[in-house]
Amino acid sequence: MTDKRLVLLITCMTAFITPFLGSSVNIALPSINADFMVPDEALLNWVALGFLLSAAIFVVPFGRIADIFGRKTIFITGLSIVVISSILCSMSSSIHMLILSRAVEGFGSALIFGTSVAILTAAYPMKERGKALGINVALTYLGLSAGPVLGGFITHNIGWRYIYGGMAAYASLVALLALLVLKENERCAENAPFDAIGTALYGAMLFTFMMGLSMVPTMWGGLIIALSLVVMAAFFWWELRNPNPVLKVSVFRKNTVFLFSNLAALINYSATAAIAFLLSLYLHYIQGYDPQSAGLILVAQPIVQAIFSPLSGRLSDKVEPRIVASMGMGFCIIGLALFALLTPSTPLYQIIASLMFLGLGFALFSSPNTNAIMSSVDRCDYGVASGMVSTMRIIGQMLSQSIALLIFLMIMGHTEISQDQSGPLMASVQVAFLVFAGLCVIGLFASLMRGNLRSGVTPVNALHQKQ
């Protein structure tokens, strides 16, 4: 039997890959644009969007495939695809080749994230699972936070292509360790037919939804989002009638812990993913910090989160995850509300203190919430649950950015952001943080409604029992 500490090491090394690949490219876009002389900004944005779309579309289906045919095989296949696609990214001779390579990289990342958390969950008993998942979550957020900082350093000193060259070498090392160390998990329903129609509908649903978000607030964006809702209805109709669905919709209906934990995760990511974007603009255009100094200030949040995520995960092994995660969501509300009170003269120590407060809130929420999601399902559904954790993060990131951009458009119009527009920019930042704090209030109710993981009693079930 594989040593669970080695499983933790491998999955934590992997947890850094996908979020780093998703966040590091944003800082490199100007350099990529200079290399390829991209004629259309929308085409340049596909370097980031293509990766996110591909990862979101394939992560749940391949989580299901991993549950059926074995997680180790899918996990190592995903790492191998990341290695090859990263090499192709570093060798790209045109923007179109880079976009295609990034989409393949997203596909490989989906195979990793559809299995890594599942592999880790299966290796640890429930009484120790929160601690392990806490460490894993810390590495995930470290990847998200280190992406812009490390990506910016590499881009500035040796060029953006070395981001992908370095990732190819790193992923090769992880793949080799996984091949030597991991044992194949037990296979569930190996002979069950794969739900190809459900997978196609799921992919079309996410593709149209995320495409629509990327085009908000244009009319086409609204129409495409409406189309995604129609496809969503068709997807749920099909899944409810399929004996071997790619996504067990019945789990959401019958498992309140799973349903509300995923909903809380989606809301939390939607309310917090744009924080770095908003504060970067505030620190640069309002407070006058250069990009490097602003990046160093923003590091305060992930440092606190990385420190406390393992501790909060361990706490959720002893205390109901609902209590710890809801406390974290409450901290996020206060932190976001503090940022809604920002002014041009807010002292730096107050900004850093608020960031540290938010980092503590994220730590208290994320690890216990992931523990609740993974521990609320059967072993044969770990892959799909792992995929849902990643899907909630990716969709939440897209929603958060779309909400922030929509607020900017409503207040500032199509005016280019500059120091001359400091007044409207300040108002946009304040309103955005206020909206995000309101979202977290809704998320707090979702977190509390999930009920207790260990007793299986939820507020919803308790209400039904009384009736």
User: Which of these, 388, 308, 391, lies nearest to 137 by C-alpha position?
Assistant: 308
The reported pLDDT for the residue numbered 189 is 58
Q: What is the pLDDT of residues 418-441, one digit of tens each?
A: 666 778 889 989 999 999 999 999
pLDDT value of residue 377: 84
Instruction: Let me know if 217 is exposed, middle or buried by CB neighbors in 10 A (0-12, 13-18, 19+).
Output: exposed
Q: Of 216-220, 275-279, 335-339, 412-416, which has the strongest mean pLDDT?
A: 335-339
462, HSE (Cβ side, Cα atoms, 13 Å):
9
Q: What is the mean pLDDT of residues 248-275?
A: 86
Q: Across the chain, what does the average pLDDT equal? A: 84
| The pLDDT of residue 88 | 95
In the predicted structure, residue 1 carries a pLDDT above the cut 50: no
The pLDDT of residue 440 = 94
Cβ(225)–Cβ(238) below 8 Å: no
Distances, alpha carbon 410 to alpha carbons 157, 224, 405, in Å: 38, 21, 9
415: left (phi over 0), alpha (psi -120 to 50) or beta: beta
pLDDT at 328: 93
The per-residue pLDDT for 81 is: 95
**Is the pLDDT higher at 3 or at 434?**
434
Q: Give the mean pLDDT of 112-137.
A: 85
C-beta neighbour count of 292 within 10 angstroms: 11
User: Among 309-323, 355-369, 409-423, which stretch is predicted with the lowest mean pLDDT?
Assistant: 409-423
What is the pLDDT averaged over residues 230-235?
92
If pLDDT is split at 50, 70 and 90, which confidence band does 291 have? low
- CA distances to 111, 138, 146, 178, 442 from 172, in Å: 15, 22, 20, 10, 42
Determine which of 203-207, 336-340, 458-462 has the lowest per-residue pLDDT on average. 458-462
Phi, psi of 453 (to 5 degrees): -70, -45
Res 187 pLDDT > 80? no
Least confident of 34-43, 50-59, 70-79, 411-420: 411-420
For residue range 342-352, what is the model confidence (pLDDT) as tens digits? 999 999 999 99
CB count within 10 Å of CB 287 equals 17
Q: pLDDT at position 419, please?
A: 63
